[in-house]
């Protein structure tokens, strides 16, 4: 066994201890989701022009956690002339956005409808009305980080959850074929949405964040460094910060995932370390697969995307 094989072997066989008991986290999320179950989406979809022939493009606005108008693109490959389409709900990486409609052409050509979302406050056209009442580190994730029910992770998780609710309302969507997908932050949001929403039937999470979060806060050079900087300034609040994050940790929520999961990890990734990704992956009990790229950092290659396309081609027809 060479060094690379040993590293991958060790990652597969290292089961990290949970930072929350399943009964506690289930109780928290069951109560939380009940609060938002009947919250109206106040949604609007306005058809827009696109350079893609035979594609219907809608600019969507809806409300998730609060009254923030969340923005997205809903794209339908109407050139296929089907009654319904399998749908990919796409979440962006940290600081990124939903892009332009044409960014998602490959999925449309493969026969999928696409709902591409902004994440509040980040690089797209969606603002952030989250009412946070204390100072933060540079970035977004430490907004209300001392209050698990009002923190930024709660807001974006409910936003993502309600995005699936919106997709479920569309007549063009095959309700039995809704996948959530994304990389990094988008991968984390895909996993937590798949763990919480009963209508998700597939999760594709590349190099996902929101896994083994206490380890991530200690080691990551990405968004979780914001939490580390916050604790550096407020060392007396470390236990509260870590407790908040534990409620959004995929490692603690993995037992709720009951649908197929496809993930990836790069052994040179210092943003979403492979140790964090495998801490979540090893606790998933449903059908699962992970691609490990020994010489990749925080990136999703064309090879990885094509691997998902191959799987999705069979999945949408199953």
Which residue among the candidates 269, 293, 296, 308 is catalytic per the annotation?
A: 269
- Told to judge if 56 belongs to the known catalytic residues of this protein, a careful annotator would answer no
Report residue 153 as tokens.
């992770």
Q: Is 184 a catalytic residue?
A: yes
What is the distance between the alpha carbons of residues 29 and 3, in angstroms, rounded to a whole number? Answer: 41
* CA atoms within 13 Å, Cβ hemisphere of 96: 17
Give the helix/strand (H/E) hosting 10: helix 3-12
Q: What is the dihedral of CA 203, 206, 212, 217, to 10 degrees?
A: -140
CA neighbours closer than 13 Å in the CB half-sphere of residue 215 = 22
User: How far is Cα 33 from Cα 190, in angstroms, rounded to an integer?
Assistant: 16
Contact 205, 263 (CB under 8 A): yes
Of the candidates 137, 184, 190, 296, the residue annotated as catalytic is: 184
Q: Is 153 annotated as a binding residue?
A: no
Query: Which one from 104, 247, 293, 298 is the annotated catalytic residue?
Result: 298
The 10 Å Cβ neighbour count of residue 100 is: 12
The full DSSP string for 86-155 is: EEEEEEPPTT-----GGGGHHHHHTT-EEEEE--TTSSSS--------S---SSSTTTTTT-TTTSHHHH
Question: Is 298 an annotated catalytic residue?
Answer: yes
Residues forming the annotated binding site for substrate? 94
* Residues tagged active-site: 184, 269, 298
Residues forming the annotated binding site? 94
């Amino acid at each position: 066994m060479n060094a690379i094989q040993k590293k991958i072997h060790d990652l597969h066989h290292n089961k990290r201890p949970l930072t929350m008991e399943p009964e506690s986290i289930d109780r928290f999320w069951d109560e939380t989701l009940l609060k938002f179950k009947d919250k109206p989406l106040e949604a609007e979809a306005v058809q827009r022009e696109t350079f893609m022939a035979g594609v219907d493009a809608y600019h969507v606005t809806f409300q998730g956690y609060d009254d923030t108008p969340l923005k997205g693109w809903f794209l339908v490959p109407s050139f296929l002339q089907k009654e319904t389409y399998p749908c990919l709900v796409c979440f962006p990486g940290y600081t990124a956005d939903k892009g332009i409609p044409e960014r998602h052409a490959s999925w449309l050509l493969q026969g999928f409808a696409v709902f591409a979302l902004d994440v509040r406050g980040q690089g797209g056209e969606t603002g952030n009305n989250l009412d946070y009442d204390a100072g933060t580190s540079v970035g977004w994730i430490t907004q209300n980080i001392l209050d698990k029910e009002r923190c930024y992770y709660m807001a974006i998780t409910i936003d993502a959850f309600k995005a699936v609710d919106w997709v479920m309302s569309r007549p063009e969507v095959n309700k039995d074929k809704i996948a959530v997908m994304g990389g990094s932050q988008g991968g984390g949001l895909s996993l937590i949405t798949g763990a919480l929403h009963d209508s998700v039937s597939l999760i594709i999470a590349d190099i996902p964040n929101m896994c083994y979060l206490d380890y991530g806060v200690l080691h990551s050079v990405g968004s979780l460094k914001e939490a580390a900087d916050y604790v550096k300034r407020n060392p007396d609040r470390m236990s509260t910060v870590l407790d908040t994050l534990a409620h959004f940790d995929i490692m603690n929520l993995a037992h709720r995932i009951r649908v197929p999961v496809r993930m990836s990890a790069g052994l040179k990734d210092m943003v979403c370390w492979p140790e964090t990704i495998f801490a979540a992956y090893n606790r998933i009990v449903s059908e699962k697969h992970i691609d490990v790229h020994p010489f990749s950092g925080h990136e999703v290659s064309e090879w990885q995307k094509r691997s998902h396309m191959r799987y999705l081609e069979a999945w949408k027809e199953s």
